[in-house]
């Protein structure tokens, strides 16, 4: 085991920054990380410390530095075709991580690209370069035509504070809601929680009074203190959970939301769900009035996330995805 850990520390991954909470997970792999910042389209040019501290054994570099680096990277972690093109002159295995459904991304970006054309182009390009695709969920993998390798993201339950639920309010963490309203079923959210005390946290410049957490520690304290967590999503565009809702479960919060086939919530056990906003509001009020019930359900939510979304499972599966990418790269070189 120690020999494997020592070998891992000698290897370095080149990682395009995308969503800091997801990239932070890669610290569990044991590799060194060169994280590319200053990318176009990002709301922040550097690493967002408000979301996560930097992973262990990592450093920040620019794209030109990455393109010219003399390091022989063990694998390059990308998130879209632009990333793949940006490192086309490097000669290392590459892995593309699919974080969203094609339909959801097209809606968010107001794109008029023909879906099948885009999917075919990506599949052909990955085959051409010997790249490998891994998706964070089956819904997202199928959406792009890559259902073969699925590695759900994870949480480490030991990172979170013991639940108190002392604040009689719901909590929801979400960035850029304005352009994601259809994906998030935001109209339903507003109807269901009208008149209910709810704290929204995240980067949402068009929403007065809504701010991101000051730090990950600040977010943990909010997860600890608020009574319940909300996750609503269109089942054709987004999963019935995200990293924030899994964090909430790890912190011992019960979850409220709409019915969703991929939700980890069991109605009446670790949360409540309903497609009727009036009924969901009733459940919210029930939890606001009964902290003991919220605590019991949150305890079950924590058990669920530990069983289904452990960091050890993520590590094992993602290390295998990297090895698959390396095999495809090697096979591509042999067939040239």
User: How confident is the model over 217-241, as pLDDT tens digits?
Assistant: 999 999 999 999 999 999 999 999 9
pTM of the model as a whole: 0.93
Residue 199's DSSP bridge partners are: 171
Rounded to 10 degrees, the C-alpha dihedral 205/209/210/213 comes to: 110
pLDDT tens digits for range 152-181: 999 999 999 999 999 999 999 999 999 999
Q: Which CATH class is domain 2-154+311-334?
A: alpha beta
Q: Give the pLDDT confidence score for residue 96 in this predicted structure.
A: 98
Instruction: Assign domain 157-308 to its CATH superfamily.
Output: Glycogen Phosphorylase B; (3.40.50.2000)
User: Which of these, 255, 260, 243, lies nearest to 300 by C-alpha position?
Assistant: 255
| Residues facing residue 78 across a β-bridge | 96
Q: Which tokens go with 25?
A: 């997970």
What kind and span of H or E run contains 103? helix 102-108
Q: Which two tokens stand for residue 88?
A: 């086309």
Rounded-to-integer distance, Cα 98 and Cα 243, Å: 14
3-state secondary structure of 326: helix
User: Residue 297: which of 320, 323, 336, 265 has the closest Cα?
Assistant: 265
* Residue indicated by tokens 């704290």: 199
Which residue spans of the chain are classified as CATH 3.40.50.2000?
Answer: 157-308
pLDDT tens per residue, range 254-305: 999 999 999 999 999 999 999 999 999 999 999 999 999 999 999 999 999 9
- Is pLDDT above 70 for 2? no
pLDDT of residue 283: 99
Beta carbons within 8 Å of 191's beta carbon, 6+ residues apart: 277
């Amino acid at each position: 085991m120690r020999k494997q850990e020592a070998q891992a520390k000698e290897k370095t991954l080149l990682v395009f920054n995308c969503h800091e909470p997801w990239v932070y997970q890669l610290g569990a792999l044991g590799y060194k990380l060169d994280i590319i910042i200053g990318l176009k389209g990002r709301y922040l040019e550097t690493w967002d410390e408000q979301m996560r501290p930097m992973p262990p054994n990592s450093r920040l570099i620019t794209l030109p530095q990455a393109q010219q680096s003399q390091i022989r990277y063990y694998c390059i972690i990308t998130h879209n075709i632009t990333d793949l093109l940006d490192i086309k002159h490097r000669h290392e295995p590459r892995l593309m991580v699919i974080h969203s459904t094609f339909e959801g991304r097209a809606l968010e970006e107001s794109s008029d690209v023909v879906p099948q054309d885009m999917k075919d182009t990506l599949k052909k390009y990955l085959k051409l370069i010997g790249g490998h695709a891994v998706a964070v969920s089956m819904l997202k993998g199928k959406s792009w035509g890559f259902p073969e390798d699925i590695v759900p993201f994870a949480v480490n339950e030991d990172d979170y504070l013991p639940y108190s639920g002392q604040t009689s309010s719901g909590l929801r963490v979400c960035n850029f809601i304005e352009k994601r309203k259809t994906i998030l079923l935001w109209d339903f959210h507003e109807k269901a929680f009208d008149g209910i005390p709810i704290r929204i946290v995240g980067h949402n410049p068009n929403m007065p009074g809504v701010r991101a957490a000051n730090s990950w520690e600040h977010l943990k304290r909010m997860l600890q203190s608020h009574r319940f967590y909300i996750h609503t999503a269109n089942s054709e565009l987004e999963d019935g959970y995200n990293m924030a809702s899994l964090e909430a479960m790890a912190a011992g919060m019960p979850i409220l939301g709409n019915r969703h086939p991929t939700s980890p919530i069991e109605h009446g056990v670790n949360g409540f769900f309903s497609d009727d906003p009036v009924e969901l509001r009733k459940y919210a009020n029930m939890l606001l009035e009964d902290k003991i019930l919220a605590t019991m359900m949150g305890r079950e939510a924590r058990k669920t996330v530990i069983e289904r979304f452990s960091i050890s499972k993520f590590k094992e599966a993602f290390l295998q995805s990297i090895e698959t990418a390396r095999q495809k790269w090697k096979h591509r070189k042999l067939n040239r």
